[in-house]
Amino acid sequence: MKIAVLAGDGIGPEVTHEALRVLDALGLDIERGEALVGGAAYKAHGHPLPPETLALVEGSDGVLFGAVGDPDCDALERALRPEQAILGLRKAFGLFANLRPATVFKGLEHHSALRPEVAAAIDLLIVREINGDVYFGEKGFRTAADGTREGYDVMSYCETEVRRIAHVAFRAAQGRNSKLCSVDKANVLETSQLWRDIVIEVAREYPDVAFSHMYVDNAAMQLVRNPGQFDVVVTGNLFGDILSDQASMCVGSIGMLASASLGSRETTHGTFGLYEPIHGSAPDIAGKGLANPMATILSAAMLLRHSLGLADAALRIETAVARAIADGVFGHDLGGTAGTTEIGDAVLARL
């Protein structure tokens, strides 16, 4: 088993370091290689996703990814910006299904932006499509009819893309509480109308799953009003990006949410995937030992489960994190005082 570690920018290396300590402590036979990605790769090699990084990923069963984003690179042409590395990896390896679980660990309900009794009910999974939508459509700048500048990004989904993510979501629902809510904006967007038509077709193959639709504006509202109503939510790239950040605040902190990005490539023990915290590189706190590594540690657990077939080891990690939370180990993001290493130590002690 071989994993590629791409720590990236900002707090990426710090949080990844803690996740690797946790993996090491499990004593598993996992080989690993490291490579630069994002702004760090641009500064060293002139590209956010250099060939050597792609080659390392190509030869691996899964990728543990930290974060990308560097203010020094914000003025570069878009193709060279750090964010292109993650978008490029998702595209290059056909990673179309982004699983973003949001669960309130016991003890966390008092740290949510929501009232504790509302937050305590959160146990949902956002299945976000990440290979299409307005993210990857034609984009550019042009001159409008009145001579002023105009920016544009084309939104589209084809049937095949919608159908494959719908199947992932229905199957995920079958493995959970058998409820699926598809989120779109079909009252305004044709892209969403097609999305809705296809998801309805796919739903016929899953009569055991209670299926519903919701417009994205309503979904944003319901997520704070009564998040306990959701089991699995399936949505497109842009809506999923926004709703998953929102879900993280409902849970307590963006420092807690892990993610898996999966495609259809099989490994010896599972499915090839890329695993990353949903938070960004947080340049303002980088290098200060303040970042919460729990989201990355939980991402490493997802890697073990989905790409390496090590569900027991994954559960050990998740249980250790849950215990650390229950014991009051809170990072600065949750109003606590525990630093990056301290949180790593706390999880290790509970493994």
Nearer to ligand IPM by C-beta: 6 or 346?
A: 6
What does 87 bind: Mg ion, ligand IPM, none (CB cut-off 5 to 8 Å by kind)?
ligand IPM
Q: Which of 9, 61, 70, 241 is catalytic?
A: 241
| Sites for ligand IPM among residues 67-126 (CB under 6 A) | 83, 86-87
- 318 lies in the site for ligand IPM, by CB under 6 A: no
Query: Residues 114, 203, 243, 278: which binds ligand IPM (CB under 6 A)?
Result: 278
Number of shown-chain residues binding ligand IPM (CB under 6 A): 5
Tell me if 184 contacts Mg ion by CB under 5 A: no
| Cβ distance to ligand IPM smaller for residue 87 or 329 | 87
CB 73 within 8 A of CB 85: no
Q: Are 58 and 223 in contact (CB under 8 A)?
A: no
312 carries an active-site annotation:
no
DSSP per residue over 152-217, as a string? EE-----HHHHHHHHHHHHHHHHTTTSEEEEEE-TTT-HHHHHHHHHHHHHHTT-TTSEEEEEEHH
| Distance (Å, whole) CA 101 – CA 258 | 7
b/e string for 143-173 if b means 16 or more Cβ within 10 A?
eeeeeeeeeeeebebeeebbebbbebbbebb
Nearest 5°: the CA angle 17, 314, 302 is: 70
Is 18 an interacting residue with respect to ligand IPM (CB under 6 A)?
no
Residue 241 binding ligand IPM, by CB under 6 A: yes
| 136 vs 215, beta carbon nearer ligand IPM | 136
Q: Tell me whether strands 123-129 and 97-103 are parallel, antiparallel or unpaired.
A: antiparallel
Run of H or E residues at 67: strand 62-67
User: Which C-beta is closer to Mg ion: that of 104 or that of 278?
Assistant: 278
185, 231, 275, 333: the catalytic one is 185
Q: Residue 41, interface with ligand IPM (CB under 6 A)?
A: no
345 among known catalytic residues: no
Task: For residue 197, give every residue at least 6 positions away whose Cβ sits within 8 Å of its Cβ, in sequence order, or none.
Answer: none
Residue tagged active-site, from 72, 74, 217, 284: 217
Give the footprint of Mg ion on residues 234-253 (CB under 5 A). Answer: 241
Shortest reach from residue 127's CB to ligand IPM, in Å: 14
Which of the residues are catalytic?
Answer: 135, 185, 217, 241, 245
What are the residues binding Mg ion (CB under 5 A)?
241
